[in-house]
Amino acid sequence: MACTATLDVSPPVHRWMDTALQRDAFKKTIPILAAKVSASKTGSLLKSDIMKKSLMNLPKVRSVLRDPHDDLERLVLLNVSEDDALSPEVRNFLQEQSATLVVHNLELTYDYWTADEILHSILPEELCKGSPSGFAITGHLAHMNLNKEYLPYKHIIGQIKNPMIKTVVNKLDSIDTKYRFFKMELLAGEPNYVVEHHESNCRFTFDFTHVYWNSRLHTEHDRLVQLFRPTDVIADVFAGVGPFAIPAAKKGCAVLANDLNPESARYLSQNIVDNKVTSLVRASCEDGRDFIKKVIGRARDHPFPTYTGPKLSKMQEKERRKLQLAESRPIAALGLVDLPTVENQSPRHTISHFVMNLPDSAIDFLDAFRGILSESEWDFGNYANMPMIHCHCFTRELHPDRAEADIIQRVESKLGHKLETEVTLHMVRSVAPNKDMYCISFRLPRDVAFAQ
Nearest to 336 by CA among 302, 363, 309: 309
Residue 288, annotated as binding a ligand: yes
Number of separate helices (H) and strands (E) present in the chain:
14, 17
φ and ψ at residue 119, rounded to 5 degrees? -60, -40
d(CA 61, CA 36): 17
Q: Are 218 and 199 in contact (CB under 8 A)?
A: yes
> What is the distance between the alpha carbons of residues 331 and 345, in angstroms, rounded to a whole number?
16
CA–CA separation, 157 and 155 (whole Å): 5
**Nearest residue to 389 via CA among 421, 361, 417, 352:** 352
Dihedral sign from CA coordinates of 21, 22, 25, 26: positive
Was 357 annotated as part of a binding site?
A: yes
Strand order in the sheet with 100-109: 64-67, 70-77, 27-38, 100-109
Distances (CA, A) of 229 to 20, 234, 391: 52, 10, 19
Distance CA(81)–CA(56), nearest Å, equals 11
- Classify 361 as helix, strand or coil: coil
Give me Rg for the CA atoms of the chain: 30
Residue 309 counted as an annotated binding residue: no
**C-alpha to C-alpha distance for 346 and 375, rounded to whole angstroms:** 22
Amino acid identity, residue 64?
V
Task: Give the DSSP H or E segment for 288.
Answer: helix 288-301
Element containing residue 248 per DSSP (H, E): helix 245-251
Q: From CA 101, how far away is CA 22, in angstroms rounded?
A: 36
Is 290 labeled as ligand-binding? no
Cα gap 243→162, rounded to integer Å: 25
The annotated binding site is made up of 221, 259-260, 287-288, 357
The annotated binding site for S-adenosyl-L-methionine is made up of 221, 259-260, 287-288, 357
